[in-house]
Chains A and B, each alone.
Chain A
């Protein structure tokens, strides 16, 4: 699949909102889970000490 330029890639043939809306939320949730896990770990270690 050759998109030509960035605008075409972002437009996704007119479905940009739907495609990127899906990917952005997925990415954000995964990052959020990893951040929450790191905080929970730090909390757990902190409570031992």
Chain B
């Protein structure tokens, strides 16, 4: 069977598909978070060094991973929009930014609430924390820049340049714990060595990561649908949808 992928590159055909996908991924997210939190709170043992405070890990690490991953995906769509001038690419980049900012804030907030009992401070200006804060400002900068330009196509282009320049910050965040002396611990989970944590802790954390990932997909698609309706409000398909939505 041949699938015409370009069929879904126009808002008109992508809009209903995005709705169905958002529902599916939203359901998966709910399920994954329920399982992940059950493992995290009722199966995973108490940490020998940190006691129960470590249970923040089940949202902190997935949120931090999503904050970086979403930025890369946002920069990818922004770059696609610049290179191929496709309508949907810019809409996807704009749709990702607020959810990316949300997870960046959650990573910073939960990190702060974890730092207080374990390090004795809510905040330090070390490399990992500072570069993650810069990521939050990059998301805010992207959104503010787009909001300041009235023509959506020009807003997409300006935002895309900012997103692509800012992507250099992502490896800086990731490797900051190696490159500099920081208060933040190194990676407990990496592709190159065995994870240094109990299996049930790791399972809970990975399942929560999938939960946040699926949630991000659902939220981004829902926002992309809003953006499609806003930008194409004078089109026939949007009018038809609005009549049906009554």
| A residues with CB within 8 A of B | 1, 3, 9, 12-15, 17-19, 21-23, 25-26, 29-30, 33-34, 37, 40-41, 44-45, 47-49
- CB neighbors of A among B12-58 (8 A): 41-46, 51-53, 55-56
Interface size on B, residues (CB 8 A): 41
Sample of 19 more A-B contacts, CB < 8 Å, known A1-B45, A19-B52, A44-B226: A1-B43, A1-B46, A12-B53, A13-B52, A15-B52, A18-B116, A19-B113, A21-B113, A22-B60, A23-B56, A23-B59, A30-B102, A34-B219, A40-B226, A44-B230, A45-B245, A47-B233, A48-B239, A48-B241
10 A-B residue pairs with Cβ-Cβ distance under 8 Å, sorted by A, are A13-B46, A14-B51, A15-B52, A15-B117, A22-B109, A22-B114, A23-B56, A25-B106, A45-B242, A49-B246
User: Are A29 and B105 neighbours in the complex by a CB distance under 8 Å?
Assistant: yes
User: Are B52 and A12 neighbours in the complex by a CB distance under 8 Å?
Assistant: yes
| Chain B facing A: main interface SS | helix
How many whole Å from A37's CB to the nearest CB in chain B? 5
Q: 6 closest pairs, A vs B, by CB?
A: A13-B52, A48-B242, A44-B229, A15-B53, A22-B110, A12-B52
Q: Write the chain B residue with the least CB distance to A47.
A: B233
- CB neighbors of A among B51-106 (8 A): 51-53, 55-56, 59-60, 63, 98-99, 102, 105-106
- Residues of chain A lying within 8 A (CB to CB) of residue B233: 44, 47-48
Tell whether B128 is near chain A: CB-to-CB under 8 Å: no
| Chain A facing B: main interface SS | helix
Q: Write the chain A residue with the least CB distance to B26.
A: A34
User: Are A18 and B113 neighbours in the complex by a CB distance under 8 Å?
Assistant: yes
- Residues of chain B lying within 8 A (CB to CB) of residue A44: 226, 229-230, 233
- From A3, A17, A30, A37, B226 is in contact (CB under 8 Å) with A37
Could you tell me the distance between the alpha carbons of A41 and B241 in the complex, rounded to whole angstroms? 12
Q: Write the chain A residue with the least CB distance to B244.
A: A45
- Residues of chain B lying within 8 A (CB to CB) of residue A23: 56, 59
